[in-house]
Structure 1
Amino acid sequence: MIVKGIKELTEEEKYSIINRNKMNLEEIIPTVKEILDNVKNRGDEALREYTKKFDRVDIEDFKVYKEEIEEAYEKVDYKVVSAIERAYENIKRFHEIQLESIKEWEIEKDGIKTGQIVRPVRSAGCYVPGGRAFYPSTVLMTVVPAKVAGVKRVVVVSPPYGKGINPVTLVASHIAGADEIYKVGGAQAIGALAYGTETIPKVDIIVGPGNIYVTCAKMLVSGSEVKIDFPAGPSEVLIICDEEAKDEYVAMDLLAQGEHDPNSSCILLTTSREKAISIKNKILELMKNTERRNILERSLKNMAILYGDITECIEFSNEYAPEHLEIITENPREILKYIENAGSVFLGEYTPVPVGDYATGTNHVLPTGGCSRIYSGLSVDYFLKKISIQELSKEGLECISETVITLAEIEGLHNHAKTVKIRLQDKIDL
């Protein structure tokens, strides 16, 4: 755990913090490519082989049927079902409002009409990590925006739990509105979604987090065949706080993010050296009686507690481009004005990251590893295509004919020019 002034960081230390947990896929690409090729060429047969090899279970039929979903409801506590339903309503409402902000529009000038229409992709695949672990929140965060966007076929794939899928995952998939559910995971599941098999028809877009093999597979299939959301790595948080922030809140928020994964990145930027040391001591105190201590002890090695003035903190945060950004200061909205890069922002002392993970309605599938510089978090927009339209009257064509003809001819595309000339032959010379 580094405790240091921002200005005191060496170039090597700063580079190490900013360029955290970059995934090295080179070593696993051949293995993942072989899996994808096998699934593409051999379909369900390859899926069965890899499921037996990696999940240690024989599955003949990967599809989940209505009876299995009904059985899942009997196994899941009502309190859990109720929590999933409440989270679903908030997530659905947020993404419905998000959809309303994406407009179709049209303008007209001089007989030239141009505009934009919006259409959803036809099908989407949502990868949900599974096996003994279960992530109902990830089901909601991937399926709900797709359904709100109007995608007709939304598929959930998740690694098997025994010969089925974890009951909580099944219940969440049903509540979210998934059209199809398949018990298959890993790189082989990504191959099935990308290329299609006898059981699993291909999809147009694949979203959702996974391990390094899943991430690598998504990147390899991305292109003309299928679209993906973005590469996702270990979870991360960056907190900007001032002297008035409560040590216990800040320390617990850092520990909460650190318990995800030994490779999680937790960064604190504060406005005084005394505050930095005080929060470090609080972290060590809380560590004595915390769950998942074995993971936290490893993730703390990636933690940096840095101090500087508020301008330095903001500049460092923008350069870091965190997945989650908490601002716990006297006036967090004033700081927000200067934030350029972040996956999702949490304002004030009563807004820890877990509220966005589960219940506020914002999406928790977010870019990591500095990718918030160029990517947004998952949203309805990922499942939509914006199609431009144009309609010209004869007068409109006349208005821009000289521009079109001149540019077409200078590029040597004379038939392009003639498509305009032939329509205006009563007005111009062919």
Structure 2
Amino acid sequence: MAAARQLATRFPDDEVLLIEGQQVGFGPSGRNSGFVIDLPHDIGAPDYIGDIGTARLNLALNKAAQEILKRLISNHNIDCSLNFSGKYQAAIEDSGVSVLDSYRSGLDKLGEAYEVIEAKDIPAHLGTAFYRKALYTPGTMLLQPSALVKGLADSLPSNVTLYENTPITGFERGQEVELRHAKGSIKASNLLLTNNAFASHFGFLKRRLLPIFTYASITRPLTDDEQARIGGKDHWGIIPAHPFGTTLRRTPDNRILVRNSFSFNPRGQVNPGALAQSKRKHRLSFERRFPAIKDVEFEYTWGGAMCLSRNHTSYFGALDSNISAAVCCNGLGLTRGTITGTLLADWLAGDRNELIDFLIQSPVPAANPPEPFLSLGVNANLWNGERRAGLES
């Protein structure tokens, strides 16, 4: 939607078609945990920041995305429970505490603010005594992602036509691009692929994009008594110190969201059996953290795909003479989807600036081994990662 909105603005005399296979909000854009994160977080670097020049550019991209979203939410009165409560990165294992210490040194290099929360003070913040240490950073925005993307869809410029429930079943390149669907076809002078791992279904970036599914459950709203039993702030978001740990949110309507568990689904579809297995893991994670309200039931459980690459990079730019892409957000869909979609439209309009040049010149997603070795390797890595997360999961 960011790309379509900016295209419509930059090319006001052109017709822009936005094609969605499902309904807006039903895919990962509406199913994520609602963190609009500002800080870079390079899990491959010892201090989780890495090259300081690259980190500063990633920080600039993320903050630009936040500004775009704040402006759109304000201008179009999108009710998506936006709040500026920052995020906590919390640890229980020794390895997780070491991650927080390393990340602190990286944030010092970057000059970004943080606060260390020791174990005795964590319950007053988060309503749980489970964690040993937390690192609070104030720049993250939290929101309700489905409400956001539905509001963005409802406020698209007049020269954008949104077609929902229109999965593309065939594709032909040429002077015009032809997209076939169940009821006919669409011809366009230019095609922008902003569909993450599904770009490979169009024949591009094959064996470079990894659709990694993660799963979440959310409780019913807590009663006043249950809220009093756990205490803590009214709303917050926790990301784990270990990459395979548990993400948590307390939402403005007093629900607790629990996200963990991972699977590699090459076809990009949820495995129904994984939902029941993940829900059992969510229940264990919830009860460990909130024993005072352990009987609160989950109201919903779901899964959604992230697009990752083996070298943690994205793709931005041309794929063919009239086809371009901004894909592979590596788990930062709200920020990266917003800014790369916007900048892709600006680039097609002829703009060049430091951020566009950075994206164009960045390494492309690394090639992966062929099947069946890919699935065996990725699933083994996911299993091992979750095992090593220990109590962080």
| TM superposition score category, shorter chain reference | under 0.3
- TM-score for the superposition, normalised by structure 2: 0.24
Query: Which has the higher Rg, Structure 1 or Structure 2?
Result: 1
- After TM superposition, the score normalised by the length of structure 1 is 0.23
> Whose strand proportion is higher, 1 or 2?
2
- Specify which structure has the bigger relative contact order, considering alpha-carbon pairs within 8 angstroms and separated by 6 or more residues: 2
